[in-house]
């Protein structure tokens, strides 16, 4: 029986491999830099938030870009195929409803609340995947640092979504000291000022339930920082050390001499 060498009788192997490389290389890059993409997406959302009605008017651009970022996170963190399929299906459903309905698909406003509620569920699932990924990480690198920052910012987005839903249910849930109406950009500002415990008091929660939810956000933010710092300290202790440093450390330790014994 003749042995077939690699590449023999495969005239189309080169183009096929090139096509596969072109198709899969972007997926590999997306999976490798998932937290950098998510961090960039969240920062972009915060930067455009002061522009009034930007989430409503530009939903056809913002929602698809966010869907790509969420898929990158799902692709890079899902251990089981069914988890990836479930997240992908939820992202597709959310994106479809967001595009076919009026208003923003990210946060509840005067639009249909189905898409924003699905986005809230997606944020919660992504936050859970991020926490598991951080716990299982061993070494500190740029991706781990980006994941830690993303987790902190995701807490603010989660509470912004909850505040927007509460404002939809109770228009008097929040009030501003200048008697202006509270908008989505104001809720983002309020959520992150509460998360960082530097609230200025210019937006006040009036609903007792919202007050308790706001207090919980501040507590979660504090404990998140404590847990992440403790995890980083543990990961720093697990970093690989060169053999020479271990030898010198052992040599520098004082030895017990016979004269030291009683």
Give per-residue pLDDT as tens, 111-150. 678 888 999 999 999 999 999 998 888 888 889 999 999 9
- Banded model confidence at residue 110, pLDDT cuts 50, 70, 90: low
Q: How many CB atoms lie within 10 A of CB 253?
A: 6
Residue from 31, 33, 68, 47 nearest 146 by CA: 33
Between CA 255 and CA 198 the distance in angstroms is 53
Residue 233's alpha-carbon distances to 217, 237, 238, in angstroms, are 24, 6, 9
Is the distance from CB of 38 to CB of 72 less than 8 angstroms? yes
pLDDT at 251: 44
pTM score over 0.85:
no
Q: Residue 158 above 60 pLDDT?
A: yes
CA 52, 40, 133, 193 torsion: positive or negative? negative
Pick the closest to residue 135 from 123, 147, 153 (CA basis): 147
Mean pLDDT of 14-28: 60
Least confident of 45-54, 63-72, 152-161: 45-54
Position 192 pLDDT exceeds 60: yes
The answer to whether residues 161 and 153 touch, using CB atoms and an 8 Å cutoff, is no
pLDDT for 239 equals 59
What is the phi/psi pair of residue 107, to 5°? -130, 150
Q: Cα 166 from chain centroid?
A: 23
The two three-digit tokens of residue 157, written as one number: 């987005």
pLDDT-wise least confident of 13-22, 44-53, 118-127, 249-258: 249-258
pLDDT score for 250:
43
| Mean pLDDT, residues 212-233 | 91
The per-residue pLDDT for 2 is 46
**According to the model, what pLDDT value does residue 24 have?**
63
- CB of 138 within 8 A of CB of 235? yes
Residue 130: alpha-carbon gap to chain centroid = 6
- Category of 8 on φ-ψ map: left (φ > 0), alpha (ψ -120 to 50) or beta: beta
Q: Mean of the per-residue pLDDT values for the chain?
A: 80
Residue 224, pLDDT above cutoff 90:
yes
Long-range contacts: 131-134, Cβ < 8 Å, 24+?
132/77, 133/77, 134/228, 134/231
pLDDT (average), residues 212-237 = 89
Domain ranges of the chain: 32-238
């Amino acid at each position: 029986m003749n042995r077939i060498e690699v590449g023999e009788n495969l005239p189309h192997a080169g183009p096929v491999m090139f096509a596969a490389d072109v198709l899969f290389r972007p997926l590999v890059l997306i999976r490798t830099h998932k937290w950098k993409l998510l961090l960039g997406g969240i920062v972009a959302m915060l930067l455009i938030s002061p522009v009034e009605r930007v989430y409503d008017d530009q939903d056809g651009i913002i929602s698809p870009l966010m869907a790509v970022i969420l898929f990158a996170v799902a692709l890079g963190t899902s251990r089981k195929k069914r988890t990836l399929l479930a997240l992908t299906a939820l992202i597709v459903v959310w994106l479809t409803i967001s595009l076919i309905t009026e208003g923003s698909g990210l946060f509840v406003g005067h639009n249909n609340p189905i898409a924003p509620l699905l986005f809230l569920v997606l944020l919660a699932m992504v936050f859970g995947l991020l926490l598991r990924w951080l716990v299982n990480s061993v070494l500190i690198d740029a991706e781990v640092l980006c994941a830690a920052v993303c987790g902190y910012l995701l807490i603010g987005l989660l509470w912004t979504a909850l505040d927007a839903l509460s404002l939809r249910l109770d228009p008097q849930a929040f009030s501003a000291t200048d008697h202006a109406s509270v908008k989505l950009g104001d809720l983002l500002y309020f959520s992150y000022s509460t998360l960082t415990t530097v609230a200025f008091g210019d937006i006040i929660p009036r609903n007792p339930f919202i007050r308790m939810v706001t207090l919980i956000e501040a507590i979660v933010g504090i404990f998140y920082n404590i847990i992440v710092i403790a995890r980083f300290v543990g990961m720093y202790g697990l970093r690989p050390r060169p053999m020479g440093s271990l030898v010198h450390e052992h040599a520098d330790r004082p030895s017990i001499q016979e004269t030291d014994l009683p």
